[in-house]
Chains A and B, each alone.
Chain A
Amino acid sequence: MNVCVANIHASKEKNMKPSKYNFFKKIPNLSSEEYVAYNSYSNALAILSAEEYIEYKKFEENNTVHLDEELLKNLFKGNFIVKDETDEIELIRERMMQARYNSTSLGLTIAPTLNCNFRCAYCYEKGCEKDEWMSDTIQENIVECVKSCAATINNLQITWYGGEPLLAINIIENLTRLFKKICQEFNIKYAASIVTNGYLLDFNMIQRLIACDVTYCQITIDGDREEHNMRRPHVSGVDTYDTIVQNVCEASRYFRVGIRVNIDKDNKDAIFNVKNSLTKVLTENVVIYPAPIRSNYDCYLEESCFKSIEFLEFEQDYYTSSDLKTIMTKYPRQQGNSCCADSLNAYVINSNGDLYKCWSDIGRKKFCIGNIREGIIDRTKAIRYSKYDPTRDPNCVACKFLPICMGGCPRDVIERPNDRCPYFDELHKQYMVKIAEIMTRDNSLN
């Protein structure tokens, strides 16, 4: 059931106050003076004329100042002004609780094998690779688990993960067939995506994934041919770049593809190299984006990795010179919770049936919360990532990004509490201005 949180109307401003979550920035390079307005609670983006902006600023300083009725209505609609009695933190907390404890969706990240045909320099699963495949019994256990939830869920979302999941395509096919049967019987929406290195994703494999209802693929390309081959070699030592690029081109004809470019301080140009060499051969279904390499579990040299703020500054050049489709990936989304780690109804399942809460933990017994046969065994580990409440963290409560950040990666909250903020005020405003500029220009062309 949809719940309308703000099913009220603004009539007069005397009982109103400015939201805590407003961002304003003057749009440069325009003949007329205009401001971009963004509210992180409603996630709305608007343009204000100079007169409207001045009028709002007067209200911000003194909320007894009269606002034009149309402007008042519009500001209220986007949560730029709220009723006096509104406690925005309480509303954010309620949204968080709803998302964290939502039991109408089941999200499973399944690794049919931890075996991998690559040996990437920075792999955080180093040492966890095993020539182990999900047994028929474990598969049956997973299906039983889904069946037991079927009567209460509306959505089943599967992410195929690994190791390299395409090494176990038969298992993916078998589980998909059984999941879809349950979904059909209980009228559940089914969605699937895959994280793959792309090496085995040839035409035949693409058709098999389409049959498995996979609609999104994450594939990593780490720079130009030479760079990529060095960082992401095949286990046999052969080069992988040309095969992957060929496969990505084919795959992008059938489903959405996110090309992830893993970046550290030594390959800063990689994102531009990938963009320049691939943009012309890829379809509209592809988004290319940089991602920072992490040194989780000492898998990589910490000094080679960007700090959060360094990475935000690095990616600025890429996004501000991109088209709308690419820069829209920087448009925030409202966050209830962060990910499967802090969500009640989401699990990561290893090939041996072990359960985890975070993708990064897979294969590490220390973080195993139970197994698919017996369910959750260690409740303390199970709540490791969900016991943190950003709406009670003084730093987050004071932060204007809270509704779109919610404290950041739950694992970072524990492992790197002082290097976890994914937003930076001035950069965020720049992105909002850039998006507003492109959208205004595109609208005027239509």
Chain B
Amino acid sequence: MKYLIQPTLKQGSIGTNCYGFKESCPYLCLSYCPTKAVNCPRPLGVGFSPTANDSGEENNVNK
């Protein structure tokens, strides 16, 4: 068994393993960086915070 994206079982670890943002990541994404091929699990980024609305595809406003 080989992990491509490591499990995330810790909560509130703000970007500690995040490749792109490293310690400066302000987003409470509850996720670790899955791959060095991209900056973060969701490159749109903004939607990471549980306190912010997504500026990603899950944002349901016609803007």
Contact = CB atoms under 8 A, between A and B. Distances in A.
Determine if chain A interacts with chain B: yes
Given A296-B61, A299-B62, A78 B51 contact: no
Interface in B9-37: 9-14, 16, 24, 26-31, 34-35, 37
Contact of A195 (B45, B55, B60): B55
Is chain A's binding surface mostly helix, strand, loop or mixed? mixed
A46 B55 CA distance: 29
A268 to B, nearest CB: 16
Contacts of A360: 60-61
A70 B2 CA distance: 11
Most-contacted residue by chain B among A39, A195, A358, A412 (CB, 10 A) = A195
Given A43-B5, A258-B56, A343 B43 contact: no
B3 to A, nearest CB: 5
B52 A107 contact: yes
A48 B49 contact: no
Interface size class of B (residues with CB under 8 A): 35 or more
23 contacts: A2-B11, A3-B10, A3-B11, A5-B11, A6-B9, A46-B2, A105-B50, A107-B52, A109-B53, A157-B51, A159-B46, A195-B55, A216-B44, A289-B56, A324-B35, A328-B38, A329-B57, A333-B48, A339-B54, A348-B53, A360-B61, A411-B60, A440-B4
Closest 6 CB pairs of A and B: A107-B51, A42-B7, A44-B7, A191-B26, A45-B5, A346-B51
Given A45-B34, A70-B1, A296-B60, 4 more contacts: A189-B26, A294-B60, A333-B29, A340-B52
Interface of A: 1-6, 37, 39, 42-49, 52, 70-71, 74-75, 77-79, 95, 98-100, 102, 105-107, 109, 120, 122-124, 155, 157, 159, 189-191, 193, 195, 197, 215-216, 218, 220, 256, 258, 260, 262, 287, 289-291, 293-294, 296, 299-300, 324-325, 328-329, 331, 333-334, 336-337, 339-341, 343, 345-346, 348, 358-360, 409, 411-412, 422, 435-436, 439-440, 442
